[in-house]
Amino acid sequence: MEHQEEAKPAIYSVRVMEEVTNPKNMRRLSDPDAVGIIHGCCGDTMEIYLHLDNDRVKEAAFMTDGHESAIACANLLCTIVQGAVSYTHLTLPTKRIV
């Protein structure tokens, strides 16, 4: 009798994998107006860069040495805040990103 391996469920959704495989915002911005850096408890580092135009986020980008979930969340965060009034996203709800 031949052993058949059961199909394993996907760890990440299709949407997450789209963000991971094509992270449009993963880069360092030259001469950013704002920079945020956090070192996670797992050893990952996340850097967020913003170009501001008056009170709006003109461009947002990130760099990380983190895994798929970090890349997907940061890429989506940058997409959400671009064009937004900068102060309104200081308290962006986690559920909007995750």
Cα separation of 50 and 57, whole Å?
7
pLDDT at 48: 94
pLDDT at 85: 82
Per-residue pLDDT band for 71 (boundaries 50, 70, 90) equals very high
Beta strands in the chain (DSSP E): 34-39, 45-53, 56-64
Compute the chain's Rg from CA coordinates: 17
> What is the rounded average pLDDT of the residues 89-97?
58
Q: What is the pTM of this model?
A: 0.76
The residue with tokens 């890349």 is 71
Nearest to 69 by CA among 16, 26, 18: 16
pLDDT at 14: 84
pLDDT at 17: 87
Higher pLDDT, residue 48 or 94: 48
Q: What domains appear along the chain, each with residue ranges and CATH number?
A: 14-97 (3.90.1010.10)
- What is the chain's percent helix, strand, coil content, to nearest 5? 30, 25, 45
Q: What is the pLDDT of residues 9-60, one digit of tens each?
A: 678 888 888 888 999 999 999 999 989 999 988 899 999 999 999 888 999 9
> What is the rounded average pLDDT of the residues 80-98?
67
Residues in CB range of 92: below 8 A, 6 or more apart:
77, 80, 81
